[in-house]
Amino acid sequence: MTEHAHNSNGRRGRIVSINRSDGGVPKLQVHQAMITESGLEGDRQANSKIHGGPDRAVLVYSWEVIEALAREGHPIGIGTTGENLTVAQLDWNLVVPGVELRVGDARLLVTKMAAPCFEIKGSFTHEDQTRISEKLNPGWSRACTRVVQSGMVRVGDDVIVL
């Protein structure tokens, strides 16, 4: 049996990457970071009008979805779509608006699924970032979250759908 089979129906996963940048993508991997109300410490968005803010403080994405997109032939990788936390072994269908996630010492509330902006078009064949549009392809999008409780996150930490 895989570890996944023991993890309470996809409600428990782990952080495989923590990603941040001084603006723009790809975001670069760090081993640990503090999550505060304003987001991941050391991370900055190039366009604060459409990114960031309390309801979009931390962007979360599924490693398995990234892998599936790569198998389709997209030049996508960890951090290339601007996610702050790349998580594995979670049932991504459980990560929906209104759900709370415990990530390391922090707690995040999923506020909405992220609309793909043109800045991430390089992660997709034919530069078609709508491949991860929730409206067009439900279940393939990234999740925007609000920070409910600040805390330290480290690669390997548990991610739990509460």
pLDDT band at 50 (very low <50, low <70, confident <90, very high): low
Q: Tens digit of pLDDT for each residue in 138-151?
A: 999 999 999 999 99
Look up the pTM and report it: 0.92
CA distance 92 to 74: 19
Query: How many CA atoms, within 13 angstroms, populate the side-chain half-sphere of residue 59?
Result: 25
- Parent domain of 63: 3-161
Q: What is the CATH number of the domain that holds 61?
A: 2.40.33.20
CA distance 111 to 99: 8
Q: Tens digit of pLDDT for each residue in 71-122?
A: 999 999 999 999 999 999 999 999 999 999 999 999 999 999 999 989 999 9
**Residue 103: φ, ψ to 5°:** -120, 115
**In three state form, how does the secondary structure of 30-42 look?**
ECEEEEECCEECC
Cα dihedral 152, 133, 54, 12 in deg (nearest 10)? -30
Q: Tens digit of pLDDT for each residue in 5-27?
A: 455 689 999 999 999 998 888 99
* Structural domains of the chain, count: 1
